[in-house]
Chains A and B, each alone.
Chain A
Amino acid sequence: MYIAKVIGKVVSIVKHPAYENRTLLLVQPLSLKSKLVRTPTIAVDYVGAGEGDVVLVGAGPGVAQEVFGVENAPIRELVMGIIDRFDVSDVEAEAP
């Protein structure tokens, strides 16, 4: 999993059935110094996250299938938690 921020919303009508009536959020990974890093991707929301929320994104293959029972689910990134805060002791040592 990784920490990300919801920076937008995605509308998509033609899509794989596993995404039916799911909200698609635009998320971007957050560094431990709370800076947006790397490239935004699209994640499927499972917890009612909204724009501006800091979230926990699960990115393992087959996560949606096992945990959420969505059969044959090509869901690479899914939002599985909304993070209230995170504390990191030695942020200087962390990669940019």
Chain B
Amino acid sequence: MDIGKIIGTVVATRKDSSLLGSRLLVVQPVDAHGASVGSPLVAVDTQGAAGYGEMVYMVTGGDAVGVLPGRRMPVDVAVVGLVDSITVTEEGDG
């Protein structure tokens, strides 16, 4: 699961009905230290507790569609958890 940092939210009143009630977050993919990697994207929030600046992890692609039980959402990025801490014991120079 890719690590990301929440940098904003998206308000979309007209959207697919399966997305009603779930928050749309603007997430910046980051590395384990929080440095930005690539460009921001919009993810559906399935845990409902993520706030601005928090580190989260996301599933992308087909796994995101069925994240919430009982409904299938037309999404390809979904936040599935909040990061409390990451301990890095080895650094890649890449």
Contact = CB atoms under 8 A, between A and B. Distances in A.
Contacts, number: 113
A67 interface: no
A92 B61 CA distance: 32
Nearest to A19: B81
Interface in B68-94: 69, 78, 80-94
Given A10-B85, A15-B80, A40-B92, A74 B64 contact: yes
Given A12-B82, A14-B82, A37-B94, A7 B63 contact: no
* Interface class of chain A by DSSP: loop
| Contact-residue size bin, chain A (C-beta under 8 Å from the other chain) | 35 or more
A41 B46 CA distance: 19
Interface of B: 1-3, 29, 31-32, 37, 46-47, 49, 57, 59-64, 66-67, 69, 78, 80-94
